[in-house]
Amino acid sequence: MTQSQLLENKVAIITGASSGIGETTAIAFAKAGASVVLGARRQEKGEAVAQRIRDNGGRAVFLKTDVTDATQAQALVDLAVSKFGGLDIAFNNAGTDGQSGHIVDIESEAYDTIFDTNVRGVWNALRAQIPALRKRGGGSIINTSSVLGTRGVAGMSTYVASKFAVEGLTKSVSLEVAKDNIRINAVAPGPIITPLLENATGGNTDGFNGIVPQGRPGTTDEVAPSVLFLASDQASYITGHSLTVGGGATAGFVTS
């Protein structure tokens, strides 16, 4: 099977699809043969991604979506069913980093924003997607976690806690639906050059060069193939797993 056939005749949802990892993965899914349903808050950018896919011969539609709203998460699934006949794959990628700093200085509203998007958003999506996947006889869901979903970082406690929660949701719900032939995994990126990272660093990502064992931040093109693999039937016996794409960031410490 060629790369362009990995997701042939599949229907996939991608959230957070207007930029970064979501955009690159949506394009990769379409190139692999999937019909893609894109969701994001930024309508103009999301529509542009869908149009780019169509201009290159792919099948794509966009729906402005805020995953913190369960009704909107359900509407994205309903669009996949009405437009393309069902749902086989979901990449729950929408997320935010929110306010950082010492825990005593973090506003409760910032906590709510991070958890509503990163945790409730995935929870809403799973609840909407699983019934549709059952109707197709199974499928694959991939949630975006982080290398910070496995380790603590001072000054980022709320974000880190939200990604630990995504890891827990992924593992727990994967057990609940395994016998339905539904696989649920996570992809856990390290520092990846995206608009989110560039905004957080003021555009200077060189600080990661000494932190990441491979000596540099990654690119979205280095994450999308891992998501594509987990989405495809090549990963048919993998579920409840978190695949790290972080340049060795979780392996240990570089001392020289």
What are the strands, taking DSSP E only, across 78-168? 89-92, 139-144
> Is residue 63 one of the residues assigned to a domain?
yes
115 alpha carbon, distance to own chain's centre: 15
* Average pLDDT score over the chain: 93
Is the pTM for the entire model greater than 0.85? yes
Domain of residue 183, residue span: 3-193+219-245
Question: Helices 121-135 & 70-84, crossing angle to 10 degrees?
Answer: 30
> Is residue 69 one of the residues assigned to a domain?
yes
Residue 134 sits at the vertex; the CA angle it makes with 129 and 137, to the nearest 5 degrees, is 130
71 alpha carbon, distance to own chain's centre: 19
Convert the pLDDT of each residue in 26-52 to its tens digit. Answer: 999 999 999 999 999 999 999 999 999
Q: Is the dihedral of CA 113, 115, 116, 121 positive or negative?
A: positive
> Is residue 97 one of the residues assigned to a domain?
yes
> Is residue 206 one of the residues assigned to a domain?
no
Confidence at 254, pLDDT banded by 50, 70, 90: low
> Is residue 92 one of the residues assigned to a domain?
yes
Measured in residues, the chain has a length of: 256
> Is residue 81 one of the residues assigned to a domain?
yes
Q: Is 237 one of the annotated active-site residues of the chain?
A: no
Cβ distance 114 to 107 under 8 Å? no
Query: What is the reported pLDDT for 193?
Result: 84
> Is residue 147 one of the residues assigned to a domain?
yes
> Is residue 207 one of the residues assigned to a domain?
no
AA letter at 241? H
Q: Give the DSSP H/E element, type plus range, for residue 35.
A: strand 35-40
Distance CA 131, CA 117 (A): 22
The domain that contains 34 carries what CATH number? 3.40.50.720
Q: Is the dihedral of CA 98, 103, 109, 112 positive or negative?
A: positive
Report the number of distinct structural domains present in the chain: 1
- Indicate the pairing of strand 35-40 with strand 11-15: parallel
Catalytic residue among 159, 185, 193, 246: 159
Convert the pLDDT of each residue in 174-224 to its tens digit. Answer: 999 999 999 999 999 998 987 666 566 566 666 666 678 888 889 999 999
